Structure 1
């Protein structure tokens, strides 16, 4: 059944995975990535490996991602090659799964997909979970020669320059964070900032407007209405998205880039924890 999404192959439906779980090709790897890093151990999709968004993807000292060498090691020990199709899923409507997918694409891994509905829908459908951790033969994953910073990412100074172009900027946080009423979401006190508000000119389009109650993505028509008609985004022009640390905005980045087919979408992963603490950074409320 066609969804109408521009890149339909970036979505895997849960029903398909459930039917084919015991006969998946060796070059397919299911990857669970959650905000709650302990969830995987309580039960996961049989055959799924765990990617811890903090321990596995982020450098423990500097605020950046792991090195290309460490990314290659991460893939190798999980039996992943550059040709492996990685199906990502997780909690909170795949918010963190999209973050992991974005990080993989940052290192040039293109064979990536999202399991529509994620962990919550899998469980609601009563599909099997296991606590058994799979073991895959270690592979050789070549160290990526280039990180895709220019293609899918933007840094603080780049955002400052971008503001001069009056290009669209999408704040995907909650309305309270956008307005400045909240310095951070109550459940994330460790990621608070000194000042509340939003980047000048940014429009508020909370990330969760893209998903239904069951965690699956809304229809192509609904998404076009949200992002193109209401927010005024042009598929042919550059768009920058941001949130707190780049995780919620990775979800919106995925929707814009792959479901709607926007040509140039960049994730400002420094986001509000950088901008709201940066000396001299312009802020609107």
Structure 2
């Protein structure tokens, strides 16, 4: 092989390696927003909707200016000791009341662990909304640099009617298939103690057969002030490089909070991923097979 050809191949390799880095940064930029960028958007009065996914009580104690209270709990319905996303007929009035629309970018935040923010992200995505981002560090990081307000923002109702995006939803049937099919991989986002069967939120101990454990804590770096921020795209890519991107991924936890953060970050990393609605609470309640 000539020196000229080696040089050309090296250039091509570096070029595409550079593109990978650019795409990673764009991916992070598209779905994760930093506090400084959000503050600039607010200062410039850019058209957007900000949702506070914490409880109403937390919202009233202090929130980001112009943010609308949208507690994640409003999107759930409890059936037989398990929690499920509301169906399209029940979710439509809620989304309209909160002013959900496809014409403006939606920014979601919570206290900082991103579980509630990711859950609301998944719900909105499930019902047809695509232009969404999550605030890195949540209100914990925000309040270190920027002021909060106690003045509620009243949403402007919309006429949005949800369109179901079934590709991000995994039913019990899908979870059953995923437990035994080589085409799938299940990811359990509960604690290690729960995964191995030392503890459980139900009367059943263990995990869904063939599932792998991946805890939310691996996704964060902690600042000197104790605030958790998402790891850089490069650091997250290193975590997900150990997982099989060729298989369809299904995430679950107990109630559907921790696993939607795993879902969010896996999707951002390019996985074909869905979230098992009902999760461990439903699986164990139905007496389905488990492993320890």
TM bucket (normalised to shorter chain) is 0.7 to 0.9
Partner of 1:216: 229
Q: What pairs up with 1:102-181 in 2 under 5 angstroms?
A: 102-125=122-145, 127-141=146-160, 143-144=161-162, 146-149=163-166, 151-166=167-182, 167-181=184-198
1:240-279 equivalences in 2 (<5 Å) = 240-258=250-268, 260-262=269-271, 264-279=272-287
* Number of aligned residues: 264
Counterpart Cα distance in 1 of 2:277 and 2:111: 20
Query: Structure 2-normalised TM-score?
Result: 0.83
For the pair 1:17 / 2:38, whether they are aligned, the reply is yes
Bigger Rg, which one: 2
Note if contact 1:94-1:215 (Cα within 8 Å) is conserved in structure 2: no
Structure 1 or 2: more helix by fraction: 2
3-state SS of paired residue (1:86): strand
Say which SS state the counterpart of residue 273 (structure 2) adopts.
strand
Cα distance in 1 for partners of 2:57, 2:192 equals 29
Query: How well do the aligned residues superpose, as a CA RMSD in angstroms?
Result: 2.1
Does residue 53 (structure 1) correspond to residue 87 (structure 2)? The answer is no
Distance of 1:3 and 1:122 partners within structure 2: 26
Q: Distance in 2 between matches of 1:110 and 1:218?
A: 23
- Note closer, same or farther for the CA distance 1:164–1:58 as it changes in structure 2 (3 Å cut): same
SS state of the match for residue 207, structure 2? coil
Please say if residues 119 and 256 of structure 2, whose CA atoms lie closer than 8 Å, have aligned partners that are also in contact: yes
CA contact (8 A) 1:6 1:261 kept: no
TM-score (norm 1): 0.85
Shift in Å, 1:49? 0.4
Cα distance in 2, alignment partners of residues 3 and 41 from structure 1: 38
Paired with 2:26 and 2:211, the residues of 1 have a C-alpha distance of 26
Once residues 52 and 228 of structure 1 are traced to their aligned partners in structure 2, the CA distance between those partners, rounded to angstroms, is 33
Runs of 4 or more, structure 1, over 6 Å off, are: none
Residue 197 of structure 1 corresponds to 206
* CA pair 179-25 structure 1, distance change in 2 beyond 3 A: same
Q: 1:275 to 1:92 in 2, by over 3 A?
A: farther
**Separation (CA, whole Å) in 1 of partners of 2:93 and 2:109:** 21
Structure with the higher fraction of residues in strand conformation? 2
CA gap of 1:30–1:3, structure 2 versus 1, over 3 A, is farther
Output the CA distance in 2 between the equivalents of 1:32 and 1:104: 14
Match of 1:234 among 223, 231, 244: 244
Q: Where does the alignment leave 5 or more consecutive residues of structure 1 unmatched?
A: 184-191
